[in-house]
Amino acid sequence: MSSEQYFPGLEGVIAGETAVSSIAGDLEYRGYSVTELADSSSFVETAYLLLHGELPTAEQLADFKAILIESAEIDPAIYEFLKKIPLHVGAMDVLRTGISMLAHFDPQLDDESPSANIAKATRLLAQIPMLIAARHRFRQGLELVPPDPEGSFAGNLLQMINGREPSQSEEDAMDVSLILYAEHEFNASTFTARVVTSTQSDLYSAIVAAVGALKGPLHGGANERVLEVLEEVGTPENAEPWVRHALATRRRIMGFGHRVYKDGDPRAVILRDYCRSLALEQGDTKFELIADTLETVVRQEKGLPPNLDWPSARLYRYLGLEVDLYTPLFVASRVAGWSAHVIEQAGNNRLIRPVSRYIGHATRTYVPLEERED
């Protein structure tokens, strides 16, 4: 009998080492609790931490913000191409193509030094929101809204999409969501980026591949399915019969359970409070009441707590964002973590090449074509 072990989905398998983040207990970025970062930091400061390894000084943070503003400009040829993409094409597909196009205009494309990769990652942080907003507004026949040099990253992101200045509570909620989505150890898209990097390919190729992995409904696309559930339930009164019928018919309800967090996703707890605050501020708590009922029943019946996708879908709805923007906004945040992993992988590289367990035919003898029976 073979002594080899097989773990479907690589569950529980240690596939590498990282100093970028830890999910043992509380989620930490570079040793800092994500709860503390959500309470006290900003997304831009968190992105700097992920890319550079340390929290910035006031001067370093000011310089980083200035670089982000300066780097936001995109070649007009890319905008012209985005306008020509058929309207039915999904936002993630367009974003994947847009990021790939950015590579052609990057003067450091072939420079894979750590400093060049940090510079490229910083430009991507600045330019990805521009791509997201541009596609959204072109699709609606609207003019682009330029970023405000004095505005925050989260505030500009919302304003460039919605065409209006967000309230402070909206800006704060968006900023916290970006912090919470910025990094999460060896998830599917991050591991994809590291695999590509391990071949000594470039940062842009790794990020484009990660976007492809994130698009899937079992990863980044899950938050889009969450809103569909809430809308299907419709009313708080229908929530309990709906969820009990869904469980009885073995329907999968997106937004619950996590491969790693068996006792609950700490990020979901943080974002839930922002959802409730915005719902109360807007005078419509319908989705909060539906979500509370579904959470209670799913926990009781299946022992599954909500993950980050569960509150984020509601939050983005309250922020006036269309569903097809949800996963692209995930990219706008996670590019910081992806890039940190790309830089780390390149700095201590070994080609990632696992083995498989063969379950096909035993060794067979080739039969010439003329001797094969119909």
H-type alpha helices, 53-187: 58-70, 76-84, 91-104, 114-139, 153-162, 168-181
| Structure tokens given for 277 | 């605050």
| Structure tokens given for 203 | 């940062």
Options 136, 184, 258, 341, the catalytic residue: 258
361 catalytic residue (yes or no): no
Q: Count Cβ atoms below 10 Å from residue 146 Cβ, excluding itself.
A: 13
| Structure tokens given for 128 | 């990805």
Q: Identify whether the C-beta of residue 52 lies closer than 8 Å to the C-beta of residue 372.
A: no
202 catalytic residue (yes or no): no
How far apart are the C-alpha atoms of 230 and 125, rounded to whole Å? 31
Options 136, 172, 309, 341, the catalytic residue: 309
Q: Identify whether the C-beta of residue 311 lies closer than 8 Å to the C-beta of residue 229.
A: no
Q: Which residue has the tokens 């937004």?
A: 255
**C-alpha triplet 133, 134, 135: angle, nearest 5°:** 95
3-state helix, strand, coil in the chain (%, to 5): 60, 0, 35
Task: Write out the catalytic residue numbers.
Answer: 258, 309
